[in-house]
A and B are shown apart, each in its own frame.
Chain A
Amino acid sequence: MRRHAVLWSMIVLALVMLVPFFIVALNAVKTPDEYSTGGPLDLPSGISLDGIIAFWERVDFGEKLLNSVVISGSVAVLAVVVSVFNAYALGIGRVKGRLWILVVFLIANTLPQEALVYPLYFLANEVGLYDTKLAVIIIFTVIQAAFGTYLLTSTLGGFPRELLEAARIDGANKWQTLVRIVVPISRPTLGVLFVFFFIWTWNEFFLPLVLLISNENQTVPVALGVLQGQRMMDATMTSASALLGVIPAIVFFLIFQRALTRGITAGAVK
């Protein structure tokens, strides 16, 4: 049966994609001795949660988790809002020179982050935002919104004009049109953006490493870096920390992935 052939090939693909996660989990529950004698790929003799517990306590993981949620959550919300505004003007408003405006916005996405480090450090230090979560939130809001602006401008370009026309005839102004018509209909895309922004920000490492110096401000990936010594790596604890770091992002994705499937009706608007 062809359908089943497709199903099975997809299942095989999914399993292959998951192999590295399996290896992470495997090493997260090993003892350091088991890792040293058997290597990363041997099965452990039992489940040891010591590495996970030790890492949690060593870096005060609860605090890091909260920091990451605050930063990623704020960025995801703010970047979606900024993207909607931008794309409303560019995609539906079709303002003059929109192609060039879009290119300018996309600089945020094209500029390698290394190039931003020294200037952003300098500016943040000048305005007193160095070593604050707010600085990181603002920066990633802009960087993520560049992508959001581009994606939304693309999709809003094909927005059904009749709906806008109808709203205008009903006497809605631009703000009302945006809030009542454009945003609800674009919700599936906004949901996708929200999920992406959250996860991308969650995994950002380099700028938080440089800008969030105090332990009380650090995010999960930065805390993970504590385990990479000068010449040593504690592989079991690294795996344990990876597992801890990845679980919240997976949970988040699974919760919100319903948002990705819900909006089938949007296409039905004629």
Chain B
Amino acid sequence: MRKRLLAAAVAALMAVAGCGGSDEASDPNTLKLWHFEGPDSAMGVAWAEAIKQFEASHPGVKVEFEEKGFEQIQKTAPMVLNSKDAPDILLYNKGNATTGLLSKQGLLTDISDEVTKRGWDKKLGPGIDTTAKYDDRGVMGSGKWYGIPNYGEYVMVYYNKTMFDQQGLAAPKTLDELTAAMAKFAAAGITPLAVGGAEYPAHQIWYQLALTKADRGWVDRFQRYTGDVDFHDNTWVFGAETFAKWLREGYISKDSAGVKAEDMGLAFMQGKNPIMISGSWWFGRVQAQVKDFEWATVPWPGMTSGSSGNLWVVPKGSKNKQHAYDFIEITMSPEIQDKLRDAGGIPVAPSATPPTDPKVKQLNDDFQALVDADRLAFYPDWPAPGFYDAQVSSVQKVITGQIGAHEALTEMADYYKENTASVGK
């Protein structure tokens, strides 16, 4: 009896397992769409609306939307795009090591014709379109169009206005003002900067400090391999030494080496540290969740980490490319772009009507100013695959005092040299 039950159970399990496979055939009346933004994020809200509009303007076509994990798309994109299960359109990370690599491997559709036909290139400003174009080495900034970004992002200074007022401090608009403010907090026994050394925040600050002395040519050499990169030039050295000084003066806590980005954000939002130098991706959350104090943002003085957001890309194996282009068209419409902005995002092509919320308005105005002045410098880990881990590790060692700032530069230089040697092969 028991044996029979067991056999029946196994048979049933196998039946469920077997028939649950992927047997959906390609259907001209669907658009298989993947992205990894949460439903409450600015992008998630705007895209949900875009899907609705798409289905309204394409009667009979159904959007098969699947929300994916970021990790899953990152790790498996080349495999998925090589199989028959590829979606018709998906959101993918921008940059050489991601979209650039896929384009080089021939897994993405060259959408240059659509871009000119539909005028998307005119909507994207300079610096924003850099991440949408890749040459045949997979290096961004020139060549063919492989994706379209809907939004932008950049690193800025968030500060706790209530705490600044208590110390009699004004908005830290220049590096000197920022340093002076931090000195005052440190003297009062408050660690001024929230930093997460276990993830991206620490090495972004490291890069930000170098960027205060950088220009477009310097950034292009580092990010787009347009010339030799010297990690011991004045720009890098200024950044590294300033970082070391901040550490020495206690502006950055030695404890921050093991802190994750999430906990950095929490520390700022709980009012433990008055300043956080990080990206616009925190904006919506800080706005929604900080209730106990006044806060504000100022742009970073000089060039700053930032770029377009992630890209809509059309896989080579997409079965409904026209639908995919139509969808991108909708996401670039002023209506969807405004929706994205009102939800706390930074659209790339908003309508002329300004946003009502003053903080959102400032966020967007600051971004526009950065674009107009061509001050977006991408992110420090982009130039080489795996550079992220290497930089986290080097900067962590500086924070814990295992190595000095100059040695960290040497480590980064070695990694950069070794791992960019194969670019374009």
Contact = CB atoms under 8 A, between A and B. Distances in A.
Interface in B67-92: 67-72, 75-76, 79-80, 82-83, 85
Interface in A119-175: 121, 125, 129-134, 137
29 contacts: A33-B289, A36-B270, A37-B270, A40-B266, A58-B67, A59-B67, A70-B16, A77-B9, A131-B22, A131-B85, A133-B20, A134-B17, A134-B18, A137-B17, A209-B75, A209-B76, A210-B75, A213-B83, A217-B20, A222-B69, A226-B72, A227-B69, A228-B70, A229-B38, A229-B41, A230-B281, A230-B310, A231-B261, A232-B41
A38 interface: yes
A231 B290 contact: no
Interface residues of B, number: 46
Interface string A60-81: 0000001100110110011000
B285 interface: yes
B262 A70 contact: no
Contacts of B130: none
Interface string B156-194: 000000000000000000000000000000000000000
Nearest 3 A/B pairs, CB to CB: A225-B69, A132-B21, A36-B289
A248 interface: no
A215 B281 CA distance: 26
Contacts of A134: 17-18, 21
B67 A215 contact: yes
Contact of A36 (B6, B71, B266, B279): B266
A109 to B, nearest CB: 23
Contacts of B67: 58-59, 215, 226
B76 A213 contact: yes
B8 to A, nearest CB: 12
B262 A233 contact: yes
Interface string B103-130: 0000000000000000000000000000
B292 A230 contact: no
A130 B76 contact: no
Interface of B: 6, 9-10, 13-14, 16-18, 20-22, 36-39, 41, 66-72, 75-76, 79-80, 82-83, 85, 93, 200, 261-262, 266, 269-270, 279, 281, 285, 288-292, 310
B281 A232 contact: yes
B17 A71 contact: yes
**What band does the interface of chain A fall in when counting residues whose beta carbon is under 8 Å from B?**
35 or more
Contact of B10 (A33, A74, A231): A74
Main SS of the interface on chain A?
helix
B38 A214 contact: no
Contacts of B39: 58
A235 interface: yes
A226 B68 contact: yes
A44 interface: no
B47 to A, nearest CB: 15
Given A36-B289, A74-B13, A134-B18, A234 B83 contact: no
Given A37-B292, A216-B20, 18 more contacts: A32-B289, A33-B289, A70-B16, A73-B13, A131-B83, A133-B17, A133-B21, A134-B18, A137-B17, A210-B79, A213-B72, A217-B22, A225-B71, A226-B69, A229-B36, A230-B70, A233-B262, A234-B38
Contact of B269 (A36, A78, A209): A36
Contacts of B285: 36, 232
A121 B79 contact: yes
